Amino acid sequence: MIILKNYPLKRFNSFRLNAYARYFVRVHNVDVIPELIYKINSKLSKFCVLGGGSNIIFRPKYDGWVLRNELLGIKVFKENEDFVWINVGAGENWHNLVRYCIDKNWGGLENLSLIPGSVGAAPIQNIGAYGVELKDVFVSLNAMNMHSGQMEFFDLDECEFGYRDSIFKRTLKNQYIITSVNFKLSKKPKLNIEYGAIKKKIEEKKLDQLNIRILSDIICEIRTGKLPNPDRIGNCGSFFKNAIIPTAKYNYLKTVFKDIPSYPTDDPELTKIPTAWLIQECGWKGKNFGSVGVYKKHALVLINAGNAQNEMVIEFSDRIIDSVLEKFDIEIEREVTIY
């Protein structure tokens, strides 16, 4: 195990912020984790797990251990005529996994094409896009308890998935390193093309046949037209979650803001409001604050417009949160994790 000290994190976070980890370790093998736990505890230190760094904002100095998850492998552990069950190492790249499954004609992940990051981070916030969420294909995961050093197993219910949320963002935050994830995929894929932008693209292209590969390509095309590529413009995708508010409050807001958009949720008492609209209505879209900005094509995305400073990103996001609160009395939440 190689322990690197005062290690630069700029190339390990998609916002491209300058930051340093007091200790940095690449975890290639589950067997080294107990020794790491011992070292972390004996120094009374803290730790965080790093995947692709596409949903993290680092402060300038992380005074603890950054454990870069690089656990690899894709294995079929069960199959029948209709389904295949696979176990995937948490350090595998998410989009590579999607393409691997498409090559095998295993359906289920195609709507989640081109989401940056690692497989192990996907359950943390139950990644979702274009009408599909991780939980729709998730079976279970394996994770090392960072207090006891024991491997534990979490099934679907135990992960308590919600909208960009799981138990690992709440009560079990920073207590586990997810080592692998199990998925159930279909050998007879059913396409999910309900999402408006997908339907529109299919019509535009006048497609008379569709399969998971074509659907994945369509989604990649929509995404590249809408979101900045982190290799060129530092960003974390959606910086904030969409707002979920009581339907009664939405009904009141509708009387004041006639155009306020909304989506139903599984619970009729709650309504989802696109936070991009709230931010845009507060006048932030395309605006910069020093070298941090709100992306001109999508108000939910904050960008590194130059050499953004860590604290400035946090301060700017606080200002946006405050102004939405003031105008709409809605407290929006960050989707990204700050370390």
Ligand X SMILES: Cc1cc2nc3c(=O)[nH]c(=O)nc-3n(C[C@H](O)[C@H](O)[C@H](O)COP(=O)(O)OP(=O)(O)OC[C@H]3O[C@@H](n4cnc5c(N)ncnc54)[C@H](O)[C@@H]3O)c2cc1C
By CB under 6 A, name the binding residues for ligand X. Answer: 14, 48-56, 69, 90, 115-118, 120-122, 124-125, 127-129, 176-178, 227, 230, 235-237, 337
Indicate which residue of 14, 180, 238, 317 is catalytic: 238
b (16+ CB within 10 A) / e for 18-50: ebbbbbbbbbeebeebeebbebbeeeeeebbbb
In terms of CB distance, is 238 or 253 closer to ligand X?
238
Tell me how far, at minimum, the Cβ of 121 lies from ligand X, in Å: 3
Indicate which residue of 16, 68, 164, 334 is catalytic: 164
Tell me how far, at minimum, the Cβ of 180 lies from ligand X, in Å: 9
Tell me how far, at minimum, the Cβ of 239 lies from ligand X, in Å: 9
Tell me how far, at minimum, the Cβ of 283 lies from ligand X, in Å: 24
Measured over the CA atoms of residue 45, residue 154, residue 50 and residue 332, the dihedral's sign is: negative
Is 238 noted as a catalytic residue in this protein? yes
The H or E element that residue 72 is part of is none
Is 335 noted as a catalytic residue in this protein? yes
In terms of CB distance, is 69 or 271 closer to ligand X?
69
Contacts of 301 (CB under 8 A, 6+ apart): 227, 228, 235, 236, 237, 238, 239, 294, 295
Q: Residue 65's beta-bridge partner residues? A: 23, 47
In terms of CB distance, is 107 or 237 closer to ligand X?
237
In terms of CB distance, is 233 or 330 closer to ligand X?
233
Indicate which residue of 92, 110, 133, 335 is catalytic: 335
CA dihedral 76, 77, 82, 83 (to 10 degrees): -80
Within 13 Å and on the Cβ side, how many CA atoms surround 53? 22
Tell me how far, at minimum, the Cβ of 1 lies from ligand X, in Å: 17
Which stretches within the chain are classed as H helix?
Answer: 33-42, 94-103, 156-159, 196-205, 212-226, 247-256, 275-281, 310-328
In terms of CB distance, is 102 or 178 closer to ligand X?
178
Is 164 noted as a catalytic residue in this protein? yes
Catalytic residues: 164, 238, 335
